[in-house]
Amino acid sequence: MKIGIFTKGAKVAAVAAAMVVSGTVAQAADTSLTGSGASFPFPLYSAWFKDFGQKTGIEVNYQAKGSGGGIEDFTNRVVDFAASDAAMNDEEMAKVDGGVVLLPMTAGEIVLAYNLDGVSELKLPRDVYPKIFLGEITKWNDEAIAAANDGVDLPDEDITVVVRADSSGTNFNFTNHLSAISKEFESTVGGGKTVPWPKASNFIAAPGNQGITATVKQTPGAIGYIEYGYAQQTNTPYAMLENQAGNFVKAGPEAGSAALASADLDENNVAFITDPKGEQAYPIATFTWMLFYKSGQDADKVAALKEMINYGLTTGQTMADKLGYIPLPENIIEINKKSMEEIGG
């Protein structure tokens, strides 16, 4: 008990000190905001905050410590806002005094990056890729893969499966998708931020999106799941996946938007699109949320936060595509604009 109070106190003190420092630096500006959380949208958010700060003078300090850490900071009220790839569950929301407003601010796609000499286009059917991640399909020239890839010269090579070593929102979304499309995956591995991957010598875990990307690029015959933006920036080839409608779809802004369009947000603005409908929808897409307080903050802060959200929903969305994120569909932006009114003093 004592320990908890001590660390909490230390955190409050640290953040208070940080705010004092940033406050004196940005004296010209009316206010400054601090946030922490998800690392997946960080490249986009940091671009937003930089541009936003230059335009308005409101400085936003965001620390990409991971969704879990962001939720903890948010619950302890040491930040003005937080970000999470897995939104917040009911239990977590109940712990925040004053209530929570969840806004899906951007979205991403998860791709299956691979390393196969001379194979520039690879199609993976719905019943095949869960089996690869279950360790049941272990050769690239397996009949099930070959059947979907007419005319592609698949090598007689072992598949090395690269998974995330750390706990992450990417893991959460990817394993939930696999669980949604494969009963067997759901019962043996299941969905979550950390999951028990098969214990086989062809399964390797690497830390972070960049860890998986590097390992896939360095390992002949490897396959791994990474954020679309990482694959794009590093020129790593990724597979076309078969969606619920039976079409093979390549990840990209249109296929991502089509997936998001089928999302049905609940009353907290949360939806996990584990298996999107739609002819052209890419199968693995996910929102990422910002978390705000409904009450208990001063009016200047509220105004600054709303200005930041407005920026993110308008100018911010135009930057998404270039950085590997999916621009939000119109209906989601409308919902966000309505929901942000709930943020109050």
Q: How many residues interact with another protein (rule CB under 8 A)?
A: 37
Closest to another protein by CB, 194 vs 314, is 194
Q: Does position 35 bind another protein by CB under 8 A?
A: no
Residue 119 near residue 224, CB atoms below 8 Å: no
Closest to another protein by CB, 3 vs 5, is 3
Residue-wise DSSP of 296-329: SS-HHHHHHHHHHHHHHHTHHHHHHGGGT-BPPP
Q: Does position 87 bind another protein by CB under 8 A?
A: no
**Sole binder of another protein in the list 151, 196, 246, 264 (CB under 8 A):** 196
Compute φ and ψ for 78, nearest 5 degrees. Answer: -100, 0
User: What is d(CA 242, CA 281) in angstroms, rounded to the nearest whole number?
Assistant: 10
Residue-wise DSSP of 262-277: T----TTS----SS--
Q: How far is the CB of 144 from another protein (least distance, A)?
A: 21
Per the rule left: phi > 0, alpha: psi between -120 and 50, beta: everything else, 192 is: left
**Sole binder of another protein in the list 193, 209, 273, 323 (CB under 8 A):** 193
Residues 57-86 that bind another protein (CB under 8 A): 65-69
At a CB cut-off of 8 Å and minimum separation 6, what does 116 contact? 122, 140, 154, 155, 157, 220, 221, 237
At a CB cut-off of 8 Å and minimum separation 6, what does 316 contact? 44, 48, 105, 106
Q: How far is the CB of 225 from another protein (least distance, A)?
A: 15
User: What is d(CA 261, CA 277) in angstroms, rounded to the nearest whole number?
Assistant: 9
Q: How far is the CB of 212 from another protein (least distance, A)?
A: 11
Residues 210-229 that bind another protein (CB under 8 A): 211, 214-215, 218-219, 221-222
Q: Does position 194 bind another protein by CB under 8 A?
A: yes
Q: How far is the CB of 22 from another protein (least distance, A)?
A: 24
Report which of 301, 294, 289, 300 is spatially closest to residue 332, judged by C-alpha positions.
289
Q: Does position 112 bind another protein by CB under 8 A?
A: no
Paired tokens of 261 = 């369009």
User: What is d(CA 150, CA 153) in angstroms, rounded to the nearest whole number?
Assistant: 8
Q: Which residue has the tokens 């109940």?
A: 94
Q: How far is the CB of 86 from another protein (least distance, A)?
A: 9
Q: Does position 314 bind another protein by CB under 8 A?
A: no
Closest to another protein by CB, 116 vs 249, is 116
Would you tell me how many other CB atoms lie within 10 Å of the CB of residue 230? Answer: 23
Closest to another protein by CB, 100 vs 320, is 100
Q: Does position 286 bind another protein by CB under 8 A?
A: no
Paired tokens of 35 = 């946030």
Q: Does position 246 bind another protein by CB under 8 A?
A: no
Give the interface segment with another protein, choosing from 100-108, 121-129, 204-212, 323-331 (CB under 8 A): 204-212
Binding mask 153-192 for another protein (x = CB under 8 A): -----x-x----xxxxx--------------------xxx
Report which of 254, 42, 216, 200 is spatially closest to residue 112, judged by C-alpha positions.
216
Would you tell me how many other CB atoms lie within 10 Å of the CB of residue 145? Answer: 23
Closest to another protein by CB, 219 vs 262, is 219
**Sole binder of another protein in the list 110, 180, 204, 281 (CB under 8 A):** 204
Closest to another protein by CB, 47 vs 205, is 205
Q: How far is the CB of 135 from another protein (least distance, A)?
A: 11
**Sole binder of another protein in the list 44, 79, 145, 206 (CB under 8 A):** 206
Paired tokens of 162 = 């690269």
Residues in contact with another protein by CB under 8 A are 3, 65-69, 158, 160, 165-169, 190-197, 199-207, 211, 214-215, 218-219, 221-222
